[in-house]
Amino acid sequence: MASSAPSAPPAPESYAQQDHAFTATPPGDYTLHHQHHHQPPSSMAEHGKEGKFFGGSSGFPPETNPNVIRSFQTVDRDSSGYIDENELQQALSSGYQRFNIRTIRLLMFLFKNPRDALRIGPNEFAALWNCLGEWRATFEKYDKDRSGKIDFFELRDALYGLGYAIPPSVLLVLYSKYDDGSGRNIELNFDSFIECGMIV
């Protein structure tokens, strides 16, 4: 199916702690761009196209949140105007949980800079950050028990809310990918939710 639609200490156990860190001051300040519930978040594909359009130029898009710019500049240690996957992982995960490198690489691919396949520039970073904020809002909306994780049915509803009508059999295969073999119910954190969204 065509794709449409931040590493620090491990995520805190409580959902409230996660949410607090998510809204913390920079570099962990994830400023969300909430949309009305009747409007699904913009697709990742659309944001990816936007990043490619800007092509990693030296400046950020107009009205970019200063905290986003600061997060980018903090990890861009050589001041090249570009960051690699490890620097992106650090920038996005400086708040509340460590993003898996698989997810980081998927994000790098989706928001790739046409001038440098291994790094992204300010415009790609800004588009990626805003898109993650929209997906975070969706994740919180469908996390009914406020646990900081979502189960099979919450994942189904969240993806459907994003416009993905996935057959139950396909969703089950995708969901089972996160079975750790412990026998406990499978639950997905935000990192895994992002990965699922990009896979579908």
Domain limits for position 115: 66-199
Residue 164 resides in a domain? yes
Residue 161 resides in a domain? yes
| pLDDT tens digits along 106-136 | 999 999 888 888 999 999 999 999 999 889 9
Is the alpha carbon torsion for 187, 196, 168, 173 positive or negative?
A: negative
Give CA–CA dist 57/121, Å, rounded: 7
Residue 20 resides in a domain? no
Residue 115 resides in a domain? yes
Does the pLDDT at position 45 exceed 60? no
CATH, residue 139:
1.10.238.10
Q: Report which of residues 200 and 155 the model is more confident about.
A: 155
Phi/psi for 107 (5° steps) reads -65, -40
Q: What percent of the chain has pLDDT over 90?
A: 40
Give CA–CA dist 84/75, Å, rounded: 9
Torsion (CA) 158, 160, 165, 170 in degrees, nearest 10: 20
Task: Identify the CA nearest to 131 among candidates 48, 25, 15, 29.
Answer: 48
Residue 123 resides in a domain? yes
User: Could you give the number of structural domains in the chain?
Assistant: 1
